[in-house]
Structure formats: structure tokens, C-alpha cells
Amino acid sequence: NLPYRDAPSDRSTAIAISVLTDAGVLQGDAGSGGGPSGLPNIRPYDELNRAEFMKIVMTLSDPNAGDASFARNCFVDVATSAWYSPYVCRAKALGIVTGHALADKPAAQWPFKPNAAVQYEEAVKVLVKLYALPIDSQGGEWYEPYIRAAVSNDLAISGLRPGDHI
């Protein structure tokens, strides 16, 4: 039994959530309508936002990524006090994320957009950078080199396309 009020009923999702819970990556959200049982919600079928995705990725790659010493105001929309600050700021320090480019602003003023749903191409870019996979930067959209690298290294998820939310 999973320790969540809204535990998934399908086996593959339950297994994935169980593994991530046992690894200390997921704990659920007691503030999202947890019931009288006192169990947190996991929201297994909701879209994943960018902050949640960074917590998962960074915790899996470095169990110390959530250390408070990594918390910073590393993006204009990431406060030091935000629960996700250590993960996002650690990823930025490692060059894994750079924020949403704004043509009229310098990079130091780009937002991270932590509450936005993470898009497939953004997730792929993070994974390619995290694993330091080589990319072929020939033309096309900004994400195409990352998608090609993911396909070449069996990181692509079939059925998902750029623009899809995870």
C-alpha cells in the first residue's frame, strides 16, 4: 500500500510512485486536500510542474541536492524560501537550466516559471544536460538537438512530442 490518500490504481504508475517514494524523492502534499486519514496526496495523474520536475531529477542525481545551502534567489521568480529553491538553484549552478529567455532582458532577469507545466522538450533538455550527452547543434528549433540526443541514447519517451506536458 502506498502512503497516499489518492494512490494510483494502475500497476505501472503505482510501481513508479512506490520506487520514488522509497528513494525519498516523493513524499506527497499534505496541503493539497489531504483527508481525515492524515495521508498526503500525490496527484498521480496531474501534470508535473517545472519545480516538481527539478526536485525529482535533482534528487535522483544527487541525494544532497535539497540541502538548504543551495537555496538562493537564482531566478527572478525563485525565492530563497521556496521549497524548490535548492533544487532549481543547484540545477542552475550546474548549467542544467537557464530559465525562459526573454529577448529584451539579460539572462540574469530570465524567469524560471516554477509553476508552469513542464513540457516534454524541456524535460529532455534537462536530462541531456544532466547526463552530459553530446548534442549535434545543427539548425532547427532550439530543442531539436536535445531530442536527437535523447533518441540516440534511448532517453526519448515514445508517444510524447515537443509541446506535450508531462
- The model's pLDDT over 13-62, given as tens digits with 9 standing for 90+, comes to 899 999 999 988 998 887 655 455 678 999 988 999 999 999 999 999 99
Give the number of other Cβ atoms within 10 Å of residue 44's Cβ: 17
Calculate mean pLDDT across residues 154-160: 91
Q: Which amino acid is at 25?
A: V
pLDDT of residue 57: 95
Buried b / exposed e over 122-148, threshold 16 CB at 10 Å, is bbbbbbbbbeebebeeeeeeebbbbbb
Calculate mean pLDDT across residues 76-92: 96
pLDDT of residue 28: 86
Q: Find the distance separating the first CA and the last CA of the chain, reported in whole Å.
A: 25
Q: What is the pTM of this model?
A: 0.89
Q: What's the mean per-residue pLDDT of the chain?
A: 91
Calculate mean pLDDT across residues 75-92: 96
pLDDT of residue 37: 66
How would residue 138 be classed by pLDDT, with cut points 50, 70 and 90? confident
